[in-house]
Structure 1
């Protein structure tokens, strides 16, 4: 996504917001830092996300709780981790 090849959660958050991204598909461990980074702004830059697909590893619901409880999150989190990964 970015030239550096490194995760920059500020840039990722801006990209989601500016381009009105509605879906994201990644591993839970790749998504948790985005949740942590955006918690301080009550997820205002992730407001357009409607479908969050998490797979490849089990989900730690506790790490997603701040997002799910936020008044700015109106989407759904879909668990795509299944028997193939087990």
Structure 2
């Protein structure tokens, strides 16, 4: 009953920008205002602006943020198994 979403409308590639690493502390949970805009790989996706918190905090957007944070060496893996094996090193 829900119409299909055109993937080209929401999954658009974005050019790689400079790599930004968020500073973390072992005894303090910190977040950076730029956290959603960090792009660490050449296969990153553009995040579209939204007015609603439902979209901003949705699984779809959070997944794209996590994918954009991965290093290029992880994203460029040739097989699903090698991608899965490289993931624990980054989380």
Q: TM-score of the superposition, structure 2-length normalised?
A: 0.22
Structure index of larger Rg: 2
By relative contact order (CA 8 Å, sep 6+), the higher-ranking structure is 1
Name the structure with the higher strand share. 1
